[in-house]
Amino acid sequence: MKIIAFVNNKGGVGKTTCSKLMAEFLSKKKKLRTLCIDFDPQCNFSHQYLHMEIDPAAPEGLMPPIHPDYNPNDEEDQNWDGRSSIAEIFYGQGVIPYPTYVECLDIAPGHAEKLLTAESVRRSEVVDKVHKQLAFFLNSSDVQAAYDAIVIDTAPSKGPLTISVIKAATHIIIPSVMEEQPVQGIYGMLQLWMQESLTREKSRPLQLIGILPNMFKQTRLHKDILKSLQDSPAIGKYVLPVKFSQRIVFAEVDAADSNPRSIFDFPEQHVAKAEAEEVCSHLSERIFA
């Protein structure tokens, strides 16, 4: 089972967009049983597939809807509130993924308040526990038996949540816009990757698939920054040979009333679909090689 995470502590670089494209490519095109995990308290990834609800206990945040399998009349469900998020791993409760409108694609959604609580822990023994919890969940025999691929969307942070993703992942991809600030985020992520690689058992390496330029425009700025990364002796080898262009349709398919809802359901000759297939096939070949 491959555990693929999109990470960059800078915001708005396309972590969620790339996670969604990759998850849909693996489930729709590769027919792999895929689980999306939303590890960002903003819950944008969850919102793509579920009608997330406002949490009355923390109205600025979202929580998952009632699970389709929940039956309040069932004896077994008496001690369950009917909602299940990935954050349950921090509270000793089971995570019950939700099916999505895409075949072979499930999601373990976020829960703003519960994830923020985990993100804000500072006491070293608790931080340590948070760091290990996701790997523990993903290595469980249930998850290993149910899925071929896990795609994790992360928050724009380098806090305990992102570190626990780095510890659990088998492969990471760093999406970035070719502009000064997001490029700074690349360095932070490379540092986390190197730190993690030093402490990992050799049998379970964390593979950096690479830096994925996103929202690329044929402007002087983007071309110059991409070239300087490619030419950098330290970073050049990690820059992927594929990229996502700035295309409004990648944002438009996020709308709940978009038809079709997936780039991969666009007509064969559609330029955004062709680009999504090219990028995702490249990533997938590297990951499943």
Ligand X SMILES: Nc1ncnc2c1ncn2[C@@H]1O[C@H](COP(=O)(O)OP(=O)(O)OP(=O)(O)O)[C@@H](O)[C@H]1O
**Chain positions contacting Mg ion, by CB under 5 A:** 15-16, 44
Task: Decide if residue 179 touches ligand X (CB under 6 A).
Answer: no
Shortest gap between Cβ of 212 and Mg ion (angstroms)? Answer: 14
Q: Which is nearer to ligand X, 96 or 253 (CB)?
A: 253
Please provide residue 213's backbone torsions phi and psi, each rounded to the nearest 5 degrees. Answer: -65, 135
Contacts of 110 (CB under 8 A, 6+ apart): 38, 39, 40, 41, 42, 43, 45, 46, 62, 64, 85, 86, 87
The single residue among 30, 129, 247, 270 that binds ligand X, judged by CB under 6 A, is 247
Which region among 47-55, 186-194, 203-211, 240-248 touches ligand X (by CB under 6 A)? 240-248
Residue with smallest beta-carbon separation from Mg ion: 16
Query: Closest Cα partner for 95 from 137, 46, 45?
Result: 137
- Of 40 and 106, the one with the shorter C-beta distance to ligand X is 40
Nearer to Mg ion, 96 or 183 (CB): 183
User: In the set 5, 16, 264, 284, which binds ligand X (CB under 6 A)?
Assistant: 16
Stretch that binds ligand X, among 29-37, 163-171, 242-250, 260-268 (CB under 6 A): 242-250
Question: Segment 208-237, which members bind ligand X (CB under 6 A)?
Answer: 214-215
**Region binding ligand X by CB under 6 A among candidate stretches 11-19, 134-142, 202-210, 262-270:** 11-19
Among 24, 38, 40, 106, interactor with ligand X by CB under 6 A: 40
Q: Are 11 and 156 in contact (CB under 8 A)?
A: yes
CB of 234 to Mg ion, least distance (A): 27
Q: Do the beta carbons of residue 133 and residue 163 sit within 8 Å?
A: no
Q: Residue 153: name the closest of 42, 282, 257, 67 by CA.
A: 42
Contacts for 20 with CB less than 8 Å, ≥ 6 apart: 36, 45, 48, 153, 254
**Cβ of residue 16: shortest distance to Mg ion, in angstroms?**
3
- The count of other CB atoms within 10 Å of the CB of residue 153 is 29
Instruction: Tell which one of 13, 35, 149, 209 touches ligand X (CB under 6 A).
Output: 13
Residue 30 binds which one of ligand X, Mg ion, none, with CB within 5 to 8 A depending on kind?
Answer: none
Candidate list 64, 109, 156, 185; residue touching ligand X; CB under 6 A: 156
* Gap between the Cα atoms of 227 and 256, Å rounded: 37
For tokens 């992360």, the residue is 154
Using alpha carbons, list the distances in angstroms from residue 140 to 2, 16, 125.
14, 25, 22
Beta bridge pairs of residue 5: 152, 172
238 binds ligand X (CB under 6 A): no
The whole-angstrom distance between residue 119's C-alpha and the CA centroid of its chain comes to 16
Helices (H), 97-219: 112-119, 124-138, 141-146, 160-168, 180-199
Instruction: Give which of Mg ion, ligand X, none residue 12 binds (C-beta under 5 to 8 Å, depending on kind).
Output: ligand X
Could you list the residues that contact ligand X (CB under 6 A)? 11-17, 40, 42, 44, 156, 214-215, 244, 246-248, 250-251, 254
